[in-house]
């Protein structure tokens, strides 16, 4: 719910490295419409954003690069 607060253990926090060069096929964690982070695969790369195909089958969407975290393969 909007305005909710929670404590997240440091071990569960994933840093988003700045300047990551994403490429098609990269596995990422990215925000969806609700701003919650979900896993997906990069299917297209643009200057400031990438298109993410979501693992749950939702329609692909464009996400700003600065909000995406790469995940290990």
Domain limits of the chain?
Answer: 20-70
59 — pLDDT class (breaks 50, 70, 90): very high
- What tens digit of pLDDT does each residue of 18-46 get? 778 899 999 999 998 877 899 999 999 99
Domain 20-70 sits in CATH at 2.30.30.140
Chain mean pLDDT for the chain: 88
CB-based contact 43:24 (threshold 8 Å): yes
Looking at residue 42, its pLDDT comes to 98
φ/ψ of 37, rounded to 5, equals -90, 135
């Amino acid at each position: 719910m909007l305005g909710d607060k929670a404590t997240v253990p440091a071990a569960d926090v994933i840093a988003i490295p700045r300047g990551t060069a994403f490429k098609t096929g990269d596995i990422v964690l990215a925000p969806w419409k609700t701003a919650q982070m979900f896993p997906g695969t990069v299917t297209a790369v643009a200057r400031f954003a990438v298109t993410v195909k979501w693992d749950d089958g939702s329609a692909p969407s464009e996400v700003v690069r600065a909000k995406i975290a790469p995940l290990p393969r």
